[in-house]
Amino acid sequence: MHIPQKLTILDGAIALDGGSISLLGKDQSGNTVNISRDWSLEAQTNCAVKLYLNKMPIEKRSLEEERLLDVLKNAEIQLSEEIEQRTTSPAERAVLGEDINEYTSTIEDGPETAVRRLIEQLISNVRSETYTSER
């Protein structure tokens, strides 16, 4: 599996499925890169949480996983003007879980801060005991 040497994150989102995260970016050659962490309630219930790179699962505690997390940690964030303007006021938000509340509270600091928080949350979850103990 090819792990990019550098990443520029263009967009990110957290799902209301239990906390799955998706990141869209490009590598050093300008190729599209999709990184996702399936943290859905279904995956958690079935002990099947996973990290994916371009829809391919990354083996837990592998060298590829560690390299991808390191590249993500150092990723540049470059959001489009459209995304920079995409915000909602706190009064317009419905919060369903602590992880989502944590993310939405960072939106007030700007979309770049919110995407950086998604990256940090993904890395933290993948390095957690909970993730390790899952199949």
Q: What is the pLDDT of residues 44-73, one digit of tens each?
A: 888 889 999 999 999 999 999 999 999 999
pLDDT of 93: 45
What span, in angstroms and rounded, lies between the C-alpha atoms of 46 and 81? 39
What is the distance between the alpha carbons of residues 121 and 134, in angstroms, rounded to a whole number? 17
41: which 2 tokens? 């309630």
Please check whether residue 1 lies inside any domain of the structure: no
pLDDT of residue 13: 92
| H or E stretch covering 77 | strand 76-77
- Please give the structure tokens belonging to residue 47: 């002990």
Radius of gyration of the chain (CA): 15
Percentage of the chain with pLDDT > 70? Answer: 79
In a domain, 87, yes or no: yes
Would you state the pLDDT for residue 110?
Answer: 82
2 belongs to a structural domain: no
Q: Check residue 38 and report its DSSP letter.
A: E
pLDDT of the residue at 18: 85
In this predicted model, what pLDDT tens digit does every residue of 92-124 receive, in sequence order? 545 555 655 665 666 667 889 989 999 999 999
Q: Is residue 60 in some structural domain? A: yes
Could you tell me if residue 102 is inside a domain?
yes
The total of structural domains in the chain comes to: 1
Nearest to 15 by CA among 103, 92, 85: 103
Domain that holds residue 73: 7-133
Residues 38, 134 contacting (CB under 8 angstroms):
no
